[in-house]
Structures are given as structure tokens and as C-alpha cells.
């Protein structure tokens, strides 16, 4: 998710968290370019441990000797943000709330466990992609992304937040990649907010022409270009991380997220290998979050196919048919009327979501007013407490702590604000639960719409249909650099 961090706090955290050798980018690359993995936040403040864990898992699923891994500020940096285990100081926590200081919630930082990595800067990403192109052995290059996303005004403006508070947009990437000569096929796996914007990489040009890329380029994405995704968790408990990337990586090696072998469920065509599209279909069925993952082929259909509502033209691909069959059964719907039944459920759930969101906004306004009043009471007596960087802040807090605590405890607006914050938390939980309930219906309607759009495309635009089939073929490839997957699956069978 995106996190709004005060620029001054970010600069200070960056300065103290990075050793000097990490500030210079290391441009040494692996000898093989089967994959490029990019992860971490743009600063320590938003470099949650779940992203590091996803890259550690990536190295278990892909051959670590055949690609380049870029993470955060690079090797030997103490920039991994972990949820604090110590009980917070109640006075400091209350002051942070009243002064709207997000920095108080950073938690703690520790050194990265990743080895053989380079800083995830914009220049390093472009160098790694160039190296992968130059050293490709002909198979698809896998590009795995586990970062924060940046929403743009259009899918082309979508970006990923990279180290040093920099943004790399889809438009910039498309222009860069289109200049690569004899580029191999690329499969993008993007696990970030607004990830679906990266589906535009299947085109070379930014604009209305949308010329299919040479190669080609395709991918699967945690969510659509206009929605946040689940993840970016500072909780050190790996079982608490329900990221799309984690589920997909496990599926690529024939496992569910608990490590159980699910080869027969994931290898849909039974050929002893798991392609990217098969793993993506399995994750769409099993991911227990609010996310609605998408793909390049999904996006292509919504750009090029006629949106006429004609169910008689439906053309179901293997992955979509499998997902629809299992989702209809799971949701206890009638296959013939599944689309309309799912839409009805979605309408009901979205109405409840809007009601809860309106309630949350109302409570937030009231809480903000109470916090502002309480802060003014405190600052009228101790103005230096507004800024924790004030040289008198610590002395004031230490010398007047008891009186400050008494003032806080006696202030009616503080007590009312605490009550409102508890109520806001409950409403927020309700909103999240409703989104989770809605997600399977959204994924089902997405699949049903895709097979209808595919039918329309096949009958109305033969040229676009051929391009669509090429994108599907790209998505169905086994990702480059995957560890001896076929042998493992054969042994399991």
C-alpha cells in the first residue's frame, strides 16, 4: 500500500539507516539473465519485512545463480522495517497522535537477510533489464516486483516506488524496453498497489495506437491499475503475510501457501509443468484477500474486444473455465445464471461498503477535531512538544512528564477521541471484511466477462485475436529461471 511519510522524517531515517558503502550503487550483475527481482520500499519508513520475505521466497523458487536481485538500499543495510515488540510509551504515543506524527509508528529497523543483492534504484533496474536481455538464452525472462505502487492518472502513468524516493513509470519502462534489440519474451509478476497498470507493457507505444511489443511482454498482477493491493506488512510473523506474490510463488512450485503439494490442482493441462497462467488461476481461486488479480490478456480484451452483451459468443480458455467452474461451486451459484447472481451479491456488498466508508469519514472528521482541540490545550503550555526535533522537546518531556500525563488524562477531548478511534477501528475492520467477501464475486464476474469478450474478439477482429493468442501463449510459458520444476512435478506424480 502507499504510505504518506513526512519528507523530513524520511530524510533523517535514510541518513542514519544507510552505511556509506550502500549509498553507491553496485553495478555488478549475474552471468545469466533468466530473471530480475525488484523489491523493497523507497525509504526505510516504508520498507516492510513482508517484501523482504517475498524475495527470500523467490530465491527458493528460482535459481539464485541465474538472475539479478535488487532490494531496498542494497547489501548490509539496516533498513528492514519490523513491527515494534516493545510496549509503546503511552505519553509519547498520545502526543504523536495529537500532533499527527506518523513517525512514531515506524517500529524498529534491522539488517536485511538478503545476500548478493544490489540497491533497487531506477538506474540499477534499467541496467538489470538490459543485462537480462543481453544474456538471455532464448527463454522468457521473469521480472518479479515486490514494491510499493504509485497511482497515476492513467495506466501508463502507474509507477513503482524505488529506493531514494524515486518513481519508475510504465510509460518510461515501455519506452526503454522498446529500444532493446531482439528482446526475449518477458513475464512480469507485479505485487504492488495499482499493479495492473504494468499490463500496458505488452504495447511499445504510449497512446492510442497500442502496437504489440516485440518479444512479447506479458504478465500477471496483484490488482488492477486503479486499486490498492494487500500486503506491505511490518509484522515479522510470516503467516500473517497474505500477499499475491507469496501465493503465486508457492503455486509456481506446486504448493499452496501452507506448503502442501497441490500439483494436480495447479497443473491444469497435466503436462508436468506449471505455467504462469496456471499459477495465476489457482491464486485467483485461493487468495483470501480483497484483491482482484488481473493479467495482460485480461487487459487486452478490455481494450480491443467489443463490449456487447452477447453470452452466445463466449470463448473459454482452459484457465478461465477452470476458475469459473470452481468459483461457481464455491459460491453455491447456478452456472447458467452465475453472472447475474454474482452481480447482485456485489451490488449488495458494495452498498454496505459505501455506508461503512461514509460512517468512517464522519468519525474521522470528529476525531480530527477532538485531537486538534486536545493538542491546542497541550501546546498552550508546552509549545515545544509540537516538534520532536526541537532541542527542548526531550528536556520538557522529562521534566514535566507527570504534569503532561495528568493534563492528557483529564482532557475530555482526549477521552472522547480515544473512544472514537476504537469505533473507527471497528468500522475499518467491517470495511475490510466486506471487501474480502466481495472479492470472489468480483473475480468470478471478471472471468465470465473475459470469456464473453474473447468470443466477441474472435468473431469481430481476427488481427487482434491473433495478438491476444500470442499474449496468452506468453502467459502460459514456464517462467525463466524456475528451479527444475518439471523434474519435481514428475517425481510428485
Q: What is the pLDDT of residues 368-403, one digit of tens each?
A: 999 999 999 999 999 999 999 999 999 999 999 999
**% the chain with pLDDT above 90:** 77
Task: Note whether 147 and 161 are within 8 A (CB).
Answer: yes
- Decide which of 24 and 429 is more confident: 429
Residue 425 pLDDT > 60: yes
C-alpha cell at 235: 509484522
In this predicted structure, which of 10-19, 215-224, 261-270, 315-324 has the lowest mean pLDDT? 10-19
Please tell me the distance from the alpha carbon of residue 294 to that of residue 280, in angstroms, as a whole number.
Answer: 9
Euclidean distance between CA atoms 412 and 209, whole angstroms: 61
d(CA 104, CA 319): 46
CB-CB contact of 397 with 385 (8 Å): yes
pTM here is 0.89
Q: Rounded to an integer, what distance in angstroms lies between the CA atom of residue 88 and that of residue 236?
A: 17
User: What are the angstrom distances between the C-alpha of 306 and each of 205, 315, 442, 445, 467?
Assistant: 22, 13, 20, 17, 15
**Residue 243 pLDDT > 50:** yes
Q: Interior CA angle at 324 toward 320 and 329, to 5°? A: 155
What is the per-residue pLDDT across 341-369, written as a single tens digit (0 to 9) for each? 999 999 999 999 999 999 999 999 999 99
What pLDDT is stored for residue 32 in this prediction? 66
CA distance 388 to 205: 48
Whether 75 and 112 have beta carbons less than 8 Å apart is answered as yes
Share of the chain above pLDDT 70, in %: 88
**Confidence check: pLDDT of 34 > 80:** yes
Q: Give the residue-averaged pLDDT of 56-65.
A: 95
**Band of residue 3 on the pLDDT scale cut at 50, 70, 90:** very low
Phi then psi for 81, rounded to 5 degrees?
A: -85, 125
Contacts of 110 (CB under 8 A, 6+ apart): 78, 80, 82
- List pLDDT tens digits, range 471-490: 999 999 999 999 875 435 54
Residue 23 confidence (pLDDT): 39
pLDDT digits (tens, 9 = 90+) for 208-224: 667 777 778 999 999 99
Whether residue 74 is predicted with pLDDT greater than 60 in this model: the reply is: yes
Lowest mean pLDDT across 17-21, 192-196, 322-326: 17-21
Whether 8 shows a pLDDT value over 80: the answer reads: no
Q: What's the length of the chain?
A: 493
Give the CA distances from residue 151 to residues 75, 193, 195, 224, 245, in Å, rounded to whole numbers and listed in that order. 29, 8, 9, 11, 19
Centroid of chain to Cα 436: 16
User: From residue 312, how far is each of 325, 334, 451, 453, 470 by CA, in Å?
Assistant: 18, 17, 10, 11, 24
Question: Largest alpha-carbon pair distance within the chain?
Answer: 79
pLDDT score at 101 = 67
pLDDT given at position 486: 41
Burial of 429 (0-12, 13-18, 19+ CB in 10 A): exposed
Let me know: does 214 contact 183? Beta carbons within 8 Å.
yes
pLDDT higher than threshold 90 for residue 420: yes
Q: Please, which residues bridge with residue 81 across strands?
A: 48, 109
Give the N- to C-terminal CA distance of the chain in Å, as an integer: 39
DSSP 163: T
What does the alpha-carbon distance between residue 115 and residue 159 come to, in Å, rounded to a whole number?
26
Query: How crowded is residue 181: how many other Cβ atoms within 10 Å of its Cβ?
Result: 7
Element at 168 (helix H, strand E): strand 166-169
Q: Can you tell me the mean pLDDT for 17-46?
A: 68
| Pairwise CA distance, residues 60 & 249, whole Å | 9
Quote the CA–CA distance of 69 and 236 in Å, as a whole number.
22
- CB 440 within 8 Å of CB 324: no
Q: How many CB atoms lie within 10 A of CB 288?
A: 12
**What is the Cα gyration radius of the chain?**
25
As beta bridge partners, residue 469 has none
pLDDT in tens, 161-190: 999 999 999 999 999 998 887 778 999 999
Amino acid at each position: 500500500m502507499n504510505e504518506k511519510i513526512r519528507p523530513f522524517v524520511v530524510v533523517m531515517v535514510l541518513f542514519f539507516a544507510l552505511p556509506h558503502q550502500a549509498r553507491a550503487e553496485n553495478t555488478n550483475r549475474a552471468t545469466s539473465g533468466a530473471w530480475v527481482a525488484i523489491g523493497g520500499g523507497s525509504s526505510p519508513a516504508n520498507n516492510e519485512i513482508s517484501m523482504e520475505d517475498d524475495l527470500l521466497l523467490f530465491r527458493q523458487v528460482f535459481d539464485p545463480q541465474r538472475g539479478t536481485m535488487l532490494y531496498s538500499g542494497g547489501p548490509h543495510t539496516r533498513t528492514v522495517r519490523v513491527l515494534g515488540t516493545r510496549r509503546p510509551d503511552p505519553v509519547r504515543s498520545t502526543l504523536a497522535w495529537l500532533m499527527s506524527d506518523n513517525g512514531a509508528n515506524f517500529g524498529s529497523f534491522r539488517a536485511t537477510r538478503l545476500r548478493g543483492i544490489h540497491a533497487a534504484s531506477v538506474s540499477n533496474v534499467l541496467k538489470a533489464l538490459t543485462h537480462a536481455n543481453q544474456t538471455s538464452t532464448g527463454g522468457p525472462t521473469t521480472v518479479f516486483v515486490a514494491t510499493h505502487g504509485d497511482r497515476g492518472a492513467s495506466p501508463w502513468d502507474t509507477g513503482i516506488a524505488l529506493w531514494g524516493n524515486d518513481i519508475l513509470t510504465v510509460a518510461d519502462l515501455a519506452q526503454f524496453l522498446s529500444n532493446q534489440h531482439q528482446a526475449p519474451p518477458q513475464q512480469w509478476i507485479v505485487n504492488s498497489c495499482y499493479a495492473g497498470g504494468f499490463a500496458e507493457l505488452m504495447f511499445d507505444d504510449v497512446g492510442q495506437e497500442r502496437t504489440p511489443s516485440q518479444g512479447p511482454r506479458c504478465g500477471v498482477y496483484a490488482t488492477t491499475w486503479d486499486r490498492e493491493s494487500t500486503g506491505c506488512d511490518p509484522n515479522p510473523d510470516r503467516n500473517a503475510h497474505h500477499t499475491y506474490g507469496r501465493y503465486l510463488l508457492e503455486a509456481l512450485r506446486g504448493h499452496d501457501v501452507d506448503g502442501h503439494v497441490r500439483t494436480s490442482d495447479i497443473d491444469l493441462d497435466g503436462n508436468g509443468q506449471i505455467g504462469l497462467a496456471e499459477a495465476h488461476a489457482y491464486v485467483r481461486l485461493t487468495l483470501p484477500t480483497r484483491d482482484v488479480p488481473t493479467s495482460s490478456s485480461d487487459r487486452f480484451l478490455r481494450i480491443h474486444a467489443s463490449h456487447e452483451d452477447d453470452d452466445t459468443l463466449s470463448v473459454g480458455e482452459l484457465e478461465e473455465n477452470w476458475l469459473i467452474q470452481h468459483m461457481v461451486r464455491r459460491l453455491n451459484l447456478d452456472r447458467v445464471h452465475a453472472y447475474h447472481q454474482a452481480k447482485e451479491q456485489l451490488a449488495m456488498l458494495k452498498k454496505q461498503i459505501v455506508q461503512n466508508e461514509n460512517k468512517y469519514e464522519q468519525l474521522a472528521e470528529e476525531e480530527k477535531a477532538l485531537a486538534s482541540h486536545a493538542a491546542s490545550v497541550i501546546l498552550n503550555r508546552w509549545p515545544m512538544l509540537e516538534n520532536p526535533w526541537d532541542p527542548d522537546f526531550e528536556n520538557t518531556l522529562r521534566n514535566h512528564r507527570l504534569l503532561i500525563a495528568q493534563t492528557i488524562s483529564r482532557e475530555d477531548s482526549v477521552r472522547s477521541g480515544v473512544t472514537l478511534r476504537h469505533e473507527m477501528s471497528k468500522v475499518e475492520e467491517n470495511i475490510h471484511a466486506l471487501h474480502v467477501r466481495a472479492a470472489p464475486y468480483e473475480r468470478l464476474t471478471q472471468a465470465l466477462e473475459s470469456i464473453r469478450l474473447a468470443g466477441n474478439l474472435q468473431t469481430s477482429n481476427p488481427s487482434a485475436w491473433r495478438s491476444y493468442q500470442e499474449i496468452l501463449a506468453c502467459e502460459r510459458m514456464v517462467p525463466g529461471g524456475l528451479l527444475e520444476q518439471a523434474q519435481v512435478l514428475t517425481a510428485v506424480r
